[in-house]
Structure 1
Amino acid sequence: MDKNRYVDLLVDFSFKKIFGTDTNKAVLIDLLNTIFEGKKVIIDLVYNKNEHHGDNQEEGTAIFDLLCTGDKGEKFLIEIQHSKPSNFKKRSIFYTSRLISEQAPKGKMKEWAYNISEVYFVAIMDQKETNDTADKLISDGRHLHDICLCYRSTGEIFYEHLGYTYIDLTNFALTLEQCSSKLDKWFYHLKNLQNMASLPNGLEKTIFELLYSIAEYTKLSKEEQDMYDEALKRKWDNVAVMTEARESGEARGRAEGERNKALEIARKMKADGQPFELILKFTELSAEEIEKL
């Protein structure tokens, strides 16, 4: 395997290594604060359970359950995950519901009075959405989706302490030179760090200098390199399988569309009393298909 200087941040192993360890939490804090854009300001965080889900090994997701402390002393929970997009809406609701329900003390509900902490969910997606229309985000090309509970009729926020942020990097297409904000630069590096040759000018003495220093492939131990290589191979294999499936589905869709068009033409030609042989010639349908119309 060809080795890039820097690891791919969106491979499960390296995502956990860079963002899921206490020694690197300054990097994750900066990323989250940049995403929240002042709505929340994290000054410290604790990893409650790295990958607490463990319910389905086929998910292949990296999930962090975080207890955060804000600049006003408030405590709140964040679930951050790098995940495949299938069923992500339902999974988002499931994970945040669990974070909320797990706060309930055993046998002391009356004294507790539902004094729940704020809960936020952040998902970073780098694969195309599935064909499940119920699971699709708004298809307007945006790469950042900020979602909350609100009144359907007015848009007024109903409850401000539960929020969902979806980052769809498949829609992020800026070059580094086009990135005008820190948020854009973070998205760029999440998607493209593995293709960089060195730290770009202008990013010295920033959080990105730290990111580059800890994301070098050669800084991994031999065991970690083997684990990363295997995880990277799995990612490539999954992408190849998904690409083949998508292209196969598109081809089937085109073929079905062409057949439906031919059937419609055949119906019209039969209604007009056109000769059977002429219908066969122009539609390329079988005689049996035409007879059934």
Structure 2
Amino acid sequence: MAKYINPYTDFGFKKLFGEEANKDLLIDFLNQLLPAHHQIADLNFRNVENLADLSAERKAIFDIHCKALSGERFIVEMQKAKVKYFKDRSLFYVTFPIREQAQTGEWNFRLEPIYFVAILDFEYDEAEERRKFRRDVALKDQDGDLFFDKLHFKFLQMPLFNKKENELKTKFDKWCYFLKNLESFDHIPNILNEPIFQKAFGTAELASFTAQQRDNYEQSLIQYRDLKSALETAVEEREVEIAKRMILAGSDNDFINQMTDLPFGYIEKLRAELKK
């Protein structure tokens, strides 16, 4: 039995980052991702579970209304997700905090800045994108110049974060190391033995949960594992189909392995099947 929760479960994610008592954890984490002019002084949650639209799908998404140190207001949409068409959904989800800013009567259409932050425990889309652990995306023109400075996407593909304890240089590195390895820790590593992480470990320790919280977490963990298994099967099936097409197109095994990550022995097996 693990000592600490899995932070990618709905329960674990909300426990660490979605409770009023743990706002300091969320502020510290987000401030490692946000630019200097949008460092957070305070934040407020909006309970999306009470919203009429897509309440079931958005239960692991937090609408976070932030106040910067400068006094400016901005919005963070934060989620962890294991879904198909992830990019499409990400773009769709940011339409919620955009349209919710609409005002009745006379309005000049001035919007507060929006950041979409996604912590992913899977790798998405094409093979070349698997090399990028962190992607900071904004609207730019054909010359690569920033066109609009009020909509930013920040994607973290956690499986691609592979730094060891002795390689952690920044607070951001430490947070990623914490999230990536939390469920496997049996004690607080020396590199994370500082107040903010001590609180995070205390929050995540299963021994501190009530019987009801423990039961809720176990149910959330089962749902997480079932969904992860289904998605991994879907990804594997897709890679097999890609490999078959590449074989028929004349690609060699090295290139197919590079593009799909399928083992060489399995690629040879597919070749034999296609010759029948």
Distance 1:215 1:253, change over 3 A: same
Runs (5+) with no aligned partner, structure 2: 251-271
For residues 249 and 91 of structure 1, the distance between their equivalents in structure 2, rounded to whole angstroms, comes to: 20
The reply to whether residue 55 of structure 1 matches residue 50 of structure 2 is: no
Q: What amino acid does structure 2 have at the position aligned with 1:17?
A: K
Shift of 1:23: 0.6
The reply to whether residue 12 of structure 1 matches residue 7 of structure 2 is: no
Q: What amino acid does structure 1 have at the position aligned with 2:118?
A: A
Q: Contact between 1:19 and 1:28, CA under 8 Å: does it hold in 2?
A: yes
Shift of 1:53: 7.0
The reply to whether residue 218 of structure 1 matches residue 207 of structure 2 is: yes
Equivalent residue of 2:114, what SS?
A: strand
For residues 283 and 120 of structure 1, the distance between their equivalents in structure 2, rounded to whole angstroms, comes to: 48
For residues 41 and 186 of structure 2, the distance between their equivalents in structure 1, rounded to whole angstroms, comes to: 32
Shift of 1:197: 1.1
Q: Contact between 1:10 and 1:191, CA under 8 Å: does it hold in 2?
A: no
For residues 90 and 73 of structure 2, the distance between their equivalents in structure 1, rounded to whole angstroms, comes to: 21
For residues 231 and 215 of structure 1, the distance between their equivalents in structure 2, rounded to whole angstroms, comes to: 14
Structure 2 counterpart of 1:121: 116
Structure 1 counterpart of 2:62: 64
Distance 1:53 1:175, change over 3 A: farther
Among all aligned residue pairs of Structure 1 and Structure 2, give the percentage whose two residues are the same amino acid: 30
Equivalent residue of 2:47, what SS?
A: strand
Runs (5+) with no aligned partner, structure 1: 131-135, 262-281, 287-293
Shift of 1:206: 3.1
Shift of 1:251: 4.2
User: Counterparts of 1:105-116 in structure 2 under 5 Å?
Assistant: 105-106=103-104, 108=105, 110=106, 112-116=107-111
Q: Contact between 1:85 and 1:128, CA under 8 Å: does it hold in 2?
A: no
Match of 1:74 among 65, 72, 75: 72
Equivalent residue of 2:131, what SS?
A: coil
Structure 1 counterpart of 2:234: 245
Shift of 1:216: 0.3
Structure 2 counterpart of 1:29: 27
For residues 202 and 84 of structure 2, the distance between their equivalents in structure 1, rounded to whole angstroms, comes to: 33
Match of 1:201 among 178, 190, 214: 190
Structure 2 counterpart of 1:150: 140
The reply to whether residue 43 of structure 1 matches residue 41 of structure 2 is: yes
Q: What amino acid does structure 1 have at the position aligned with 2:108?
A: A
For residues 221 and 204 of structure 1, the distance between their equivalents in structure 2, rounded to whole angstroms, comes to: 25
Distance 1:244 1:147, change over 3 A: closer
Shift of 1:241: 2.6
Q: What amino acid does structure 2 have at the position aligned with 1:239?
A: K
Distance 1:249 1:223, change over 3 A: same
Q: Contact between 2:37 and 2:68, CA under 8 Å: does it hold in 1?
A: no
Q: Contact between 1:5 and 1:194, CA under 8 Å: does it hold in 2?
A: yes
Shift of 1:138: 5.7
Structure 2 counterpart of 1:99: 97
For residues 155 and 79 of structure 2, the distance between their equivalents in structure 1, rounded to whole angstroms, comes to: 10
Shift of 1:54: 5.2
Equivalent residue of 1:103, what SS?
A: coil
Q: TM-score, normalised by structure 1?
A: 0.78
Equivalent residue of 1:36, what SS?
A: coil
Equivalent residue of 1:139, what SS?
A: helix
Shift of 1:253: 4.8
Shift of 1:255: 5.1
Q: Contact between 1:60 and 1:83, CA under 8 Å: does it hold in 2?
A: no
Q: What amino acid does structure 2 have at the position aligned with 1:118?
A: P
Distance 1:20 1:253, change over 3 A: same
**Higher Rg:** 1
Structure 1 counterpart of 2:85: 87
Q: What amino acid does structure 1 have at the position aligned with 2:196?
A: I
For residues 196 and 225 of structure 1, the distance between their equivalents in structure 2, rounded to whole angstroms, comes to: 18
Distance 1:189 1:202, change over 3 A: closer
Q: How many correspondences in the alignment?
A: 254
